[in-house]
Amino acid sequence: MSTYGVERFAKAHGKLAIELDAPQANRILLALEHLDQESGLNPALDELRTSIRAALVTKSSGDTDSAPSTDALE
Task: Give the per-residue pLDDT at 32.
Answer: 95
User: What would the pLDDT profile of 3-62 be if each residue is shown by its tens digit?
Assistant: 555 566 556 667 778 888 999 999 999 999 999 999 999 999 999 999 999 999 988 887
In eight-state DSSP terms, residue 42 is: -
For residue 70, the 8-state DSSP code is S
For residues 51 and 22, give the distance between their C-alpha atoms in angstroms, rounded to a whole number: 13
**0.75 surpassed by pTM:** no
